[in-house]
């Protein structure tokens, strides 16, 4: 049996029984179906090209708006790339956002931000204990087994052992079944 598209609704139907026996009619149906597929593909390609152009225009508009915001924020003068990176970093933007806005390489952004941190004595704040460690400690204090703590914190048993050892906590006794 043959599946073809019906008119413009693009519904699938099965070929009639007489088409299966008639090779000419079968080839004609195949040609019509192929033509419709080609038309659909051409229409899709046209829409995709138009969409790509719109995305490029939106990106360019976004860049121009950001440049105008920077110009207004800095008394009418545009900043150079280094100053833009420092400005965005001081606003709390991530490295990825800065890369998108300035089109700078990650290595250059890291270099500029490192220098900026040194000049302004900005320390990198590291958390003392993660939430996972707190969850593991809480489970330990609740006298849970290693398996129960691992399930609660959604980590492996080995990680639970590691955190307990790091904090000088003796391993809990295994519960007997």
pLDDT tens-digit readout, 24-71: 777 888 888 888 889 999 999 999 999 999 999 998 888 888 777 777
- Tokens standing for residue 158: 């080995």
* Residue 175 confidence (pLDDT): 63
pLDDT of residue 28: 81
Task: Look at residue 128 in the predicted model and tell me its pLDDT.
Answer: 52
- Is a pLDDT exceeding 50 seen at residue 2? no
pTM of the complete model: 0.35
Residue-level pLDDT at 1: 42
Q: Is the Cβ–Cβ distance between 172 and 140 less than 8 Å?
A: yes
**CB atoms closer than 10 angstroms to residue 5:** 18
Per-residue pLDDT, averaged over 106-132, amounts to 81
**pLDDT number for residue 126:** 52
Buried b (16+ CB within 10 A) or exposed e, 132-162: ebebbbebbeeebbbeebbeebebeeeebee
Report yes or no: 14 and 25 within 8 Å, Cβ to Cβ.
Answer: no
H helices within the chain, ranges in order?
Answer: 17-21, 23-73, 81-90, 95-102, 106-119, 131-141, 146-153, 157-166
Higher pLDDT, 175 or 68: 68
Cα 137 off chain centre by: 33
Give burial (CB, 10 Å; 0-12/13-18/19+) of 109.
buried
Residue 47: the pLDDT is 94
- Give the C-alpha separation, 79 to 59, whole Å: 20
**Among 101, 100, 99, 127, CA closest to 111:** 99
Does position 14 have pLDDT exceeding 70, yes or no? no
Q: What average pLDDT does the segment 135-157 reach?
A: 88
User: Is it the case that residue 9 has pLDDT exceeding 60?
Assistant: no
Segment 85-95 mean pLDDT: 85
DSSP 8-state code for residue 93: -
| Average pLDDT of the segment spanning 143-166 | 89
Q: How far is CA 175 from the centre of its chain?
A: 43
């Amino acid at each position: 049996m043959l599946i073809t598209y019906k008119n413009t609704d693009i519904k699938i139907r099965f070929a009639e029984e007489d088409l299966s026996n008639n090779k000419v009619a079968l080839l004609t149906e195949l040609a019509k179906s192929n033509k419709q597929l080609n038309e659909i593909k051409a229409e899709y390609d046209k829409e995709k090209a138009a969409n790509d152009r719109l995305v490029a225009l939106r990106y360019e508009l976004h860049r121009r708006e950001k440049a105008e915001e920077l110009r207004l924020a800095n008394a009418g003068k545009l900043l150079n790339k280094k100053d833009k990176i420092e400005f965005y970093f001081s606003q709390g933007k991530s490295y990825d956002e800065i890369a998108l806005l300035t089109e700078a390489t990650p290595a250059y952004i890291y270099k500029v931000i490192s220098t900026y941190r040194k000049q302004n004595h900005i320390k990198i704040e590291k958390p003392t204990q993660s939430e996972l460690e707190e969850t593991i400690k809480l489970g330990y204090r609740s006298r849970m087994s290693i398996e129960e703590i691992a399930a609660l914190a959604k980590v492996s048993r080995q990680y639970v052992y590691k955190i307990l050892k790091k904090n000088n906590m003796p391993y809990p006794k295994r519960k007997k079944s």
